[in-house]
Structure 1
């Protein structure tokens, strides 16, 4: 699944990882791939977490307006890894979180992120787990 990047005017200096910024919690920088620019990753606050949703519900419901911003969506696998490394304390350690990526070898499965030890795995899309939206703020140089 291709992730849409929004062009948002951001301050020149990002805050400390784990602090509130631009409608959520700052998680760090994701390196752009295939010629795409790098971007800041911001996850939604815990009170905006989706609980007991299947994969399709998580994709749809992650696009809510949160703290006045309308460019939220579900995180992908690379972003999930960064969230697990940089801001694991902001997530429930006892549950799986949906990513936006389907399993390439089995369309009935999608990737999930586990924040206790940082694992990623594929589970049936019909299962119900947690989900958290993110925002992406381009770094334009």
Structure 2
């Protein structure tokens, strides 16, 4: 790792976090550095997953962020289903399989795993 990259990550990351990569902004939104917060919730419904993410200082990842996490940090996940922060409709939300990258929806009372991400605007 180059010194510049090491210095950048030292200023960006907090204890236990993992850098996932840069997500390009859409529709005028800024680019974002996506940072995986430490910890994981297991077998939680969507509301409890959102609470877990908030309690750890982050948010549930969006579907685009989950795709980035699957591409850049698959070793950080068990091959299982993880909640996204995006609802499909009232009573259902999207989730992603970290075994093959499939994204699908399920009712929010279903049980999946959850992680939290933090975002930092890229300059």
Find the aligned partners of 2:51 and 2:45 in 1 and give their Cα distance: 10
Find the aligned partners of 1:21 and 1:87 in 2 and give their Cα distance: 15
Find the aligned partners of 2:97 and 2:108 in 1 and give their Cα distance: 16
Aligned to 1:60: 51
Find the aligned partners of 2:108 and 2:33 in 1 and give their Cα distance: 28
Aligned-pair CA distance for 1:107: 1.7
Q: How many residues align?
A: 115
Aligned to 2:42: 51
Aligned to 1:6: none
* Secondary structure at 1:137 match in 2: strand
Q: Which runs of 5 or more structure 2 residues have no equivalent in the other structure?
A: none
Aligned to 1:5: none
* Secondary structure at 1:74 match in 2: coil
Aligned to 2:84: 99
- Is 1:118 matched up with 2:120? no
Find the aligned partners of 2:47 and 2:18 in 1 and give their Cα distance: 24
Runs of 4+ with >2 A deviation: 12-15, 20-23
